């Protein structure tokens, strides 16, 4: 009874000790202090600042792209993911090796492990015995290898290898997206670098005009409704320009973020000449689409993912069909003095096969067949999207090219309007307002044109991006930004030379104007000047000799009433060899008395008749490859 109480007390003491130990090991939330967060933020800002090279010169497009590739944190994260994937592959390769297990142990108890034996006739012996010491140590070194574990580890390593290739394709896609984003942001920032000072100057001019209008209103120099309408027009212009200025100002911040510059860090963008050539896309679309299907990272990733699924099917089949055959051999030692042999070597062979699990093979195959169908469908969907993106990129480039030409022509017209207003020599509130309004419209047109050009450059990069070509080799982390920029420029230039063609300004040949027949000598200059004026507006050069074609005109004045005369204008366009290119006839009426204005109007009609044929015949665009 006393021994039983001692054992109960012993269990109570052990329970209390275990409870105290568990209470001491309980984990409680331990939040960071504000000082810890402050120190972490300080180190992060310092790391971001030290990671990038300082900007010491105006940033060009290759420079911006190189800095983004080298220092952009999102892209560096993709690089680290690729490194981590390769690390997992290295760990997986070690699983292919056999296992060598070293083990040591120590056993102690407070009494001897005596036990009674049973004789063959079932009689229990009366004297206990033991074959184990109270305290003894064991050591072993066992070499083991299992053919099923080896097979599963081998195919797992192959899956990890494909996973590393998937990480590489994702890195390529991140690089292509980053290059495209930098291209668009840089061209917008380049427009902001040029246009923001002009916008600020115009806004100051609008403010001064509004102040003058306030003074005029106070002195009642003009009717109040006129002054209010004038000031309201100024506010509308200022609002439109301010909205555009905000859009342009944000572009430099977007570019700085892509280059991993600290927000607010000052830098300049290298501006480009305003005279810009817009090339044509001359690539074969079928060839581009085929290139996209071969090179796009998304499709390559789908290929590797399908292979991972195939390998997983093999692993599952191995686990079902292949028996778990294992070999082990080892050396053992035990200090138990009751053993006859304290050290021994042991080897064994074991085979295990789960017969019930083998019946799950058809279900496994059906499951992987369904997964294979899903992978194939997903890959086809991605292929369709890639083909569509490639075609859309080409179409968008063509549309933006035409839109840029329209905005460029509109800017020329706005500049001409301002010249006419400034040279009119008129002064007054209306003229001042019209000049400011025309200047604002011209600046808005310039902003729109430059933003469309930025979109055009992005569309050109989208064509490059849609086919999935690499703008840089994989190993760029060790290169300097200058070397990265040079490599980037060379690769993009090679692609553009292959797929784009530069169209120069049309080489328009000259045309001559013969003396018109049937026009009175006193009205010849008015008639010829009108024809030449129309051709000049159409940008067709006029020459006296060495002309590629000549314009022949003939006027036949017929009978009429006392106040008007019927007239027939005949126009003939002849090339240098004397071949007739165009013959046209126009009937009109001249009012008595017939003056120079009517003869000039008739000459303009002759000019308009030959303008379009001359542009088709004389205009031969110069193609520069």
Is-contact 516 524, C-beta < 8 A? yes
Is-contact 332 348, C-beta < 8 A? no
Q: Who contacts 393 (Cβ-Cβ below 8 Å, separation ≥6)?
A: 459, 462, 463, 465, 466
Is 607 contained in some domain?
Answer: yes
Instruction: Return the closest-CA partner of residue 178 out of 376, 465, 382.
Output: 465
Work out whether the CA dihedral 7, 13, 16, 22 comes out positive or negative. Answer: negative
Supply the CATH number for residue 598's domain.
3.30.160.150
> How far is Cα 357 from Cα 319, in angstroms, rounded to an integer?
9
SS3 326: strand
> How far is Cα 279 from Cα 489, in angstroms, rounded to an integer?
17
Peptide bond into 593 cis (omega under 30): yes
Per this entry, what is the length of the chain? Answer: 625
> How far is Cα 524 from Cα 505, in angstroms, rounded to an integer?
34
Is-contact 265 212, C-beta < 8 A? no
Amino acid 621: pLDDT: 42
> How far is Cα 337 from Cα 379, in angstroms, rounded to an integer?
69
Is 483 contained in some domain?
Answer: no
Is 109 contained in some domain?
Answer: no
Is 518 contained in some domain?
Answer: yes
Is-contact 82 164, C-beta < 8 A? yes
Q: Who contacts 452 (Cβ-Cβ below 8 Å, separation ≥6)?
A: 400, 403, 404, 407
Alpha helices in 500-577 (DSSP H): 524-537
446 phi/psi in degrees, rounded to 5: -65, -40
Looking up tokens 């105006």 gives 58
Question: 117-128 burial, b if ≥16 CB within 10 A, otherwise e?
Answer: eeeeeeeeeeee
Is 592 contained in some domain?
Answer: yes
Question: What confidence tens digit (pLDDT) does each residue in 20-44 have?
Answer: 555 555 667 778 777 877 777 777 6
> How far is Cα 170 from Cα 206, in angstroms, rounded to an integer?
51
> How far is Cα 510 from Cα 507, in angstroms, rounded to an integer?
10
CA 501 to the chain's CA centroid: 23
The strand pairing partners of 346, in sequence order, are: 330
**Count of domains forming the chain:** 1
- For 617, which DSSP code? H
> How far is Cα 599 from Cα 516, in angstroms, rounded to an integer?
11
Question: 602-613 burial, b if ≥16 CB within 10 A, otherwise e?
Answer: bbbbbbbbbbee
Extended strands (E) in 121-213: 135-146
> How far is Cα 109 from Cα 439, in angstroms, rounded to an integer?
101
Helix (H) or strand (E) holding 417: helix 361-423
Low-confidence stretches of the chain (pLDDT < 50) are 2, 505, 620-625
Is 303 contained in some domain?
Answer: no
For the chain, helix (H) and strand (E) counts, in that order, are 14, 11
CA 146 to the chain's CA centroid: 49
Is 616 contained in some domain?
Answer: yes
Is 573 contained in some domain?
Answer: yes
Amino acid 620: pLDDT: 47
CA 350 to the chain's CA centroid: 58
Tell me the longest C-alpha to C-alpha distance in the chain.
Answer: 161
Domain that holds residue 614: 511-624
Question: What confidence tens digit (pLDDT) does each residue in 590-611 have?
Answer: 777 788 788 888 888 787 777 7
End-to-end CA distance of the chain: 109
Q: Is 218 exposed, middle or buried (0-12, 13-18, 19+ CB in 10 A)?
A: exposed
Ramachandran quadrant class, 272 (left: phi over 0; alpha: psi -120 to 50; beta: rest):
beta
């Amino acid at each position: 009874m006393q021994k039983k109480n001692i054992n109960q007390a012993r269990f109570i003491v052990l329970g209390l000790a275990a409870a105290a130990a568990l209470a001491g090991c309980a984990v409680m939330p331990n939040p960071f202090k504000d000082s810890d967060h402050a120190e972490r933020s300080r180190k992060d800002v310092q790391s971001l600042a030290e990671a990038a090279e300082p900007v010491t010169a105006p940033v060009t497009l290759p420079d911006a792209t190189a800095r983004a590739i080298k220092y952009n944190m999102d892209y560096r994260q993709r690089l680290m993911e690729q490194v981590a994937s390769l690390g997992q592959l290295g760990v997986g390769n070690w699983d292919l090796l056999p296992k060598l297990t070293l083990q040591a142990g120590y056993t102690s108890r407070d009494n001897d492990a005596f036990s009674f034996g049973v004789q063959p006739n079932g009689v229990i012996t009366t004297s206990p015995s033991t074959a184990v010491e109270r305290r003894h140590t064991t050591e072993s070194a066992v070499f083991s290898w299992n053919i099923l574990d080896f097979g599963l580890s081998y195919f797992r390593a192959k899956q990890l290898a494909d996973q590393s290739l998937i990480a590489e394709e994702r890195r390529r896609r991140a690089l292509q997206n980053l290059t495209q984003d930098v291209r668009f942001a840089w061209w917008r920032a380049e427009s902001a670098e040029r246009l923001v000072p002009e916008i600020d100057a115009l806004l100051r001019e609008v403010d001064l005009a509004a102040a003058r209008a306030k003074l005029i209103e106070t002195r009642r120099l003009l009717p109040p409704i006129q002054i209010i309408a004038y000031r309201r027009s100024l506010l509308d212009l200022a609002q439109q320009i301010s909205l555009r200025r905000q859009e342009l100002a944000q572009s430099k911040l977007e570019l700085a973020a892509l280059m991993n510059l600290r927000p607010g860090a000052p830098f300049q963008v290298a501006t480009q000449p305003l005279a810009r050539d817009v090339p044509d896309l001359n690539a074969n679309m079928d060839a581009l689409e085929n290139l996209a299907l071969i090179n796009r990272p998304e499709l390559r990733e789908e290929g590797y993912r399908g292979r991972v699924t195939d390998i997983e099917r093999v692993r599952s089949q191995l686990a079902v069909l292949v028996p778990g055959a294992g070999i082990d051999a080892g050396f053992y030692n035990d200090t138990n003095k009751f053993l006859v042999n304290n050290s021994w070597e042991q080897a064994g062979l074991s085979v295990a096969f789960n017969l019930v699990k083998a019946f799950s093979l058809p279900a496994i195959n059906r499951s992987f067949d369904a997964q294979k169908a899903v992978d194939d469908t997903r890959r086809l969907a991605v292929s369709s999207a890639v083909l569509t993106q490639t075609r859309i990129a080409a179409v968008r480039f063509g549309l933006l090219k035409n839109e840029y030409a329209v905005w460029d022509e509109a800017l020329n017209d706005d500049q001409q309007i301002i010249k006419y207003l400034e040279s009119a020599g008129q002064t007054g509130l209306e003229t001042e307002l019209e000049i400011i309004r025309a200047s604002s419209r011209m600046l808005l047109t310039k902003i729109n044109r430059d933003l469309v050009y930025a979109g055009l450059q992005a569309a050109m990069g989208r064509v490059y991006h849609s086919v999935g070509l690499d703008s840089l080799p994989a190993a760029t982390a060790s290169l300097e930004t200058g070397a990265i920029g040079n490599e980037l420029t060379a690769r993009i230039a090679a692609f553009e030379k292959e797929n784009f063609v530069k169209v120069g300004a049309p080489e328009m040949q000259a045309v001559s104007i013969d003396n018109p027949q049937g026009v009175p000598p006193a009205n010849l200059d008015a008639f010829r000047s009108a024809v030449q004026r129309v051709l000049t507006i159409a940008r067709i050069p006029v020459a006296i000799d060495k002309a590629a074609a000549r314009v022949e005109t003939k006027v036949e004045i017929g009978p009429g009433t006392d106040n008007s005369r019927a007239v027939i204008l005949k126009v003939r366009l002849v090339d240098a060899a004397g071949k007739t290119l165009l013959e046209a006839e126009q009937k009109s009426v001249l009012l008595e008395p017939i003056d120079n204005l009517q003869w000039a109007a008739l000459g303009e009609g002759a000019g308009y008749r030959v303008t379009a044929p001359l542009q088709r015949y004389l205009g031969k665009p110069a193609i520069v490859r």
